[in-house]
Chain A
Amino acid sequence: MEPTPPVLFFLGATHHTAPLAVREKLALDETRTAALAAKLQATPGVKEFAFVNTCNRVELYGVGAAAVFGGFTGTLAEVTGCSPEEIGAVVKTHTGHHAIEHLFSVAAGLDSQIVGETEILGQVKDAYDKALARHWTGPVLNRVFQKTFQAAKHIRTHTRIGEGQVSVASVAVDLAGKIFGDLAPVKVLVVGAGDIGLKTAQAFQSRGAKAITVASRTLSRAEETAAAAGGWAASLADLPDLVAGADIVASSTSAPGLVLPRDLVAAAMKRRAGRPLFLIDLALPRDIDPAAAELPNVFLYNLDDLAKIAEENIAHREAEVARCKAILAERTAALWPQVARNLGSADS
C-alpha cells in the first residue's frame, strides 16, 4: 500500500460535546498520558503530537498519516477504559487548517465555558511545554503552537473579549477598585462565615487586600473562615464598631432579617471622616437595609446588581466573539500554506 501523506489533526472532547461525567472518565492523568503517548509513538506514521488536558477538555493535536488517524478513537478508548461508542458520541475531529483554527480559538478563550477567560492560554502553554520537553512535537506542531500563542495574545490586546469580570465576587472586587483604587490598604469586613463569605474574602485577598475580618454569630466558625482567608475573626456583637472601621462590608448571612439596618450604617458613617463605604449584600433574604444606599458616600450593591453587571460583561464578550473569529480565520489562512508545505502537501 502506498503511504498516505501526513495530515495535521485534532481529536478531542470538550464541555460543548461531553457532559461532566464523561469528561471525568476521559481525563488524562500522568499515567494515562504516558500510556497514550507510548501507544501513539508505537503507531507507524505518527510523527508529532501534544495533549491539552483541562477540566473542560481532553484534546489531542498531532501530525500523522491520514490512514492511521481514524484509529485514534479506539486508542483513546483503550487508555481511558471508555467504550468506543461512548467516545465516538462525544469526540470531535478536525484536520488541516480547521485544526489550527480550533487551537487558536481554544487558546484565545473563545471555546471556553466562560468566554474570554485567560487561564486556558496558560494551560495550552503548559501542555505544549510538556510535549516539547518530551520530544513529542516536531517542526509542524512547534510552529503551530508558537503562532497560536501570538494569535491569542493579539486577541487579548486588540479586542474586548477579556473585558469586565464575569463572576459575582470578581465584579464586586472590580467595583471596590473603582471606589478605592489600590485595595492593599483597604479594610474588608466579611459578615457571615459560610462558603460565599469565604470566596468573597479570598477574592479580595487575591487582589491585594490585607486587612480582612470575618464576623459571624459563632466565633469558632468565624475563626475557621478567617484562617482560610488569611484574616481575623470577630463576633457579630461588635458589628457597629467593625462597620465604622471597615471600608468594604460584604454580608452573606442566612439571617431572616436585616443584619445592617440603615441606622447602624448612618452611625458608622459619622465616625468615618468622609471615607466612602462599599456595602455588598450577597445574602438572600437581604442582610443590608436598601435605605442605606441613600446615605452620602455609601455604595450599596446586592446580588442582583452584581449578577446584572456580570451578565452584561458576558454579553459584551459574546458580542466580540464573531470579530475574534474573523481575526483568527485570517491568521489561520496566513499560517496554513507554511504548515502545508511542512507537511509535504499543498492541502490535506
Chain B
Amino acid sequence: MFQLPPDRVLLWLGALLYLAGFLTGLLALLRRTGGAAQRTWLNVLLVAGWACQWGGLYVRGVAAGGCPLGNTFELVQFVAWSAMLVYFFVGTAFRVSLLGLFTAGYAAALAFIALLITAWDTARGERIFGDNPWIEMHAALAVFSYGVFGLLALTAVMHLLQNWSLKHKRLNGLFWFLPSVVQLDQINQRMLSLGVLLLSFSLVVGGNWFRQDPASVDLPKLIVTIGVWFAYLVVLLLRWRAWLVSVRFSWVCLVMFMLALLSLGPVNSSRQHEIPLTPADR
C-alpha cells in the first residue's frame, strides 16, 4: 500500500516548492516576461507545494489524532497553508496580479522559519482536542482566519507600495505590475470581513464549549484571543464607517497581523499548561 513520506520531508518539499514558485515569479518579473506560461508555472509550483504541505500536515494529523495544531511549528505551517488556500480562491476570483508572487514568498518564509527553528517542534500535544470535533473546528477556523489575515497583510503591503509609488511619482519597479489602489483597497476590505467572520464563528464555537467547561481555557489565552478578534472587529467597523481608509487602513492591517502572529506564542504556551506534551517524532 502507498505510504506517505515522513511529515517533515513533505513539509520541506512544500517549502522548497513555494520558494521555487517565488523565484520563478521574481525572475519573470525582473525579465519582464510574465506571460500566461509563467503564471501557469508559478501556479503549478504553488499547488504542488500546497499539496506537499497538506500531505505533511495530514501525516502529523494522523499521528496526533486530530487537526495538527499541537505546537508553534504546526500552527505556523497551518497559517502558511491557509494563506495559500485563500490565495487560490482570491487570486482566481479577483485576478490580482503579483499576489501569487507575494503569497509564494510569504508562505515560503513562514514554512522555512518554522522548519529551521527546531525548538518550535521539540514536543507537541497529542489528541489535544480530545474527542470533541467542535473544539477542533474552533481551533482550525481560528488558525485559518490567521491565514486570511496574513494574506490581508500582503495585499496591504501591495497597497502601500502602490500608494507610495503614485504619491512620490516613482513609477518604476513593481508599479506597472501591481493592481490599482482602489482594487487593492476593495480586496483588503473583503479579506478583513472574511477573516473577522471566520474568527467570530470560531469564537462562537469555542465560547459554547467554554460555557460548559470554564476551567478548560485559561485567562491569558482567553484575553489574547478575544483581544485579537475585538481589535480586528474595531478595524472593520472603522473601515465601514470610512474613518480608517487608504494608507492608514493598510498600515493598521499590517501591524495588526504582526501582533496577531505574536499572539500565537501566548496562546500556544497557555495551552501547553493544559495538554501533556510528547516529543515530536522527527
Whether A211 is near chain B, meaning CB under 8 Å from some CB there, is: no
| Across-interface contacts of B178 in A (CB, < 8 A) | 178
Are A274 and B169 CB-contacts (below 8 A) given A160-B32, A179-B181, A181-B183?
Answer: no
Q: Are A309 and B32 in contact (CB under 8 A)?
A: no
Q: Which residues of B contact A177 (CB under 8 A)?
A: 180
Q: Which B residue's beta carbon lies closest to that of A159?
A: B32
User: With contacts A178-B162, A299-B167, A301-B169 known, is A276 near B179, CB below 8 A?
Assistant: no
CA distance A165 to B175 in the complex (A): 14
Most buried by B among A178, A181, A301: A178
Minimum CB–CB distance from B155 to chain A (whole Å) comes to 14
Q: Is B63 an interface residue (CB 8 A)?
A: no
Query: How far is it, in angstroms, between the C-alpha of A175 and the C-alpha of B185 when the chains are bound?
Result: 17
Question: Considering only CB atoms, which chain A residue lies closest to B186 in the complex?
Answer: A181
Partner of A299, one of B166, B176, B242: B166
Q: Shortest distance in angstroms between B186's beta carbon and chain A's nearest beta carbon?
A: 9
Q: List the B residue with the shortest CB-CB distance to A298.
A: B167
A interface residues, Cβ below 8 angstroms from B: 160, 164, 175, 177-181, 273-276, 293, 296-297, 299, 301, 305, 309
Q: Offer 22 A-B interface pairs, CB within 8 angstroms, sorted by A.
A: A177-B180, A178-B166, A178-B175, A178-B176, A178-B178, A178-B181, A179-B166, A179-B180, A179-B181, A180-B180, A180-B181, A180-B182, A273-B245, A274-B185, A274-B245, A274-B246, A275-B182, A297-B247, A299-B166, A299-B167, A305-B169, A309-B171
A46 to B70, CA, bound (A): 86
Most buried by B among A175, A293, A297: A297
| Contact status of A276 and B181, CB under 8 A, knowing A178-B162, A299-B166 | yes
User: Which residues of A lie under 8 Å from residue B247 when comparing CB positions?
Assistant: 296-297
Instruction: Tell me the bound Cα distance from A160 to B167 in angstroms.
Output: 25
- Known contacts A274-B245, A297-B246; 19 further A-B pairs (Cβ under 8 A): A175-B166, A177-B180, A178-B166, A178-B175, A178-B176, A179-B166, A179-B182, A180-B180, A180-B181, A181-B180, A273-B242, A274-B185, A274-B246, A275-B182, A296-B246, A297-B245, A299-B167, A305-B169, A309-B171
Shortest distance in angstroms between A260's beta carbon and chain B's nearest beta carbon?
A: 18
Closest to B179 in A: A181
Is there contact, CB below 8 Å, between A181 and B182?
A: yes
User: Which residues of B lie under 8 Å from residue A180 when comparing CB positions?
Assistant: 180-182
Interface size of B as a range: 20 to 34
Q: How far is the CA of A305 from the CA of B171 in the complex (A)?
A: 11
Nearest first, the 6 A-B pairs at minimum CB distance are A274-B245, A181-B180, A273-B242, A274-B242, A181-B183, A297-B246
Determine the chain B residues whose CB is within 8 A of the CB of A296 once the complex forms.
Answer: 246-248
Q: In whole angstroms, how far apart are the Cα atoms of A299 and B175 in the complex? A: 15
CB-defined contacts of A276 to chain B, threshold 8 Å = 181-182, 246
The distance from the CB of A223 to the nearest CB of chain B, in whole angstroms, is 31
A274 to chain B, nearest CB (A): 3
| Residues of the B chain whose Cβ atoms lie less than 8 Å from the Cβ of A181 | 179-180, 182-183
Q: How far is the CA of A179 from the CA of B186 in the complex (A)?
A: 12
Interface residues of B in 161-198 (CB under 8 A from A): 162, 166-167, 169, 171, 175-176, 178-183, 185
Question: B32: which A residues are within 8 A, CB to CB?
Answer: 160
Q: How far is the CA of A160 from the CA of B31 in the complex (A)?
A: 11
User: When chains A and B are docked, how far (Å) is the Cα of A26 from the Cα of B14?
Assistant: 67
Chain A proximity of B270: nearest CB distance (Å): 38
Q: Give the CA-CA distance A178 to B167 in the complex, in Å.
A: 12
Which chain B residues border A274 with CB–CB below 8 Å?
185, 242, 245-246
Q: How far does the alpha carbon of A135 sit from the alpha carbon of B183 in the complex, in Å? A: 52
B180/A178 in contact, CB under 8 A? yes
Contact partners of A164 in chain B: CB under 8 A: 176
Contacts of B183 in A (CB 8 A): 181
Closest to B165 in A: A178
Q: What is the distance, in angstroms, from A194's C-beta to the closest C-beta of chain B? A: 25
Closest A residue by C-beta to B33: A158
CA distance A296 to B247 in the complex (A): 8
When chains A and B are docked, how far (Å) is the Cα of A276 from the Cα of B180? 11
Residue of A nearest to B181 (CB): A179
Residue of B179, B180, B245, B246 with most chain A CB atoms under a 10 A cut-off: B180
Flag B233-273 by CB within 8 Å of A: 1 or 0 each.
Answer: 00000000010011110000000000000000000000000
A-side contacts of B179, CB under 8 Å: 181
Q: Which of chain B's residues has its CB closest to A176's CB? A: B180
- Which A residues touch B242, using CB under 8 A? 273-274
Chain B residues, Cβ within 8 Å of A297: 245-247
Least Cβ distance of A204 to chain B in Å? 15
Complex contacts, A178 vs chain B, CB 8 Å: 162, 166, 175-176, 178, 180-181
- Complexed CA–CA distance, A89 and B89 (Å): 64
Bound together, the chains give a CA A293 to CA B166 distance in angstroms of 11
Cα distance, A299 to B246, chains bound together (Å): 12
Q: Give the Cβ gap from A270 to chain B, nearest Cβ, in Å.
A: 11
Q: From A276, which residue of chain B is reached at the shortest CB distance?
A: B181
> Which residues 94-147 of B sit at the A interface, judged by CB distance below 8 A?
none
CA distance A180 to B245 in the complex (A): 15
Contact with A along B27-61 (1 / 0, CB 8 A): 00000100000000000000000000000000000
For residue A179, which residues in chain B have a CB less than 8 angstroms away from its CB?
166, 180-182
| A293: chain B residues within 8 A (beta carbon) | 167
- A118 vs B35: C-alpha distance in the bound complex, in angstroms? 20
Give, as a whole number of angstroms, the nearest-CB distance from B144 to chain A. Answer: 28
Q: What is the CA–CA distance of A221 and B176 in the complex, to the nearest angstrom?
A: 37
Alpha-carbon gap, A299 to B171, bound state (A): 13
* Least distance between B90 CB and chain A CB atoms (Å): 16
Provide the bound-state CA to CA distance between A275 and B242, in Å. 9
> Which residues on B sit within 8 Å (CB–CB) of A275?
182
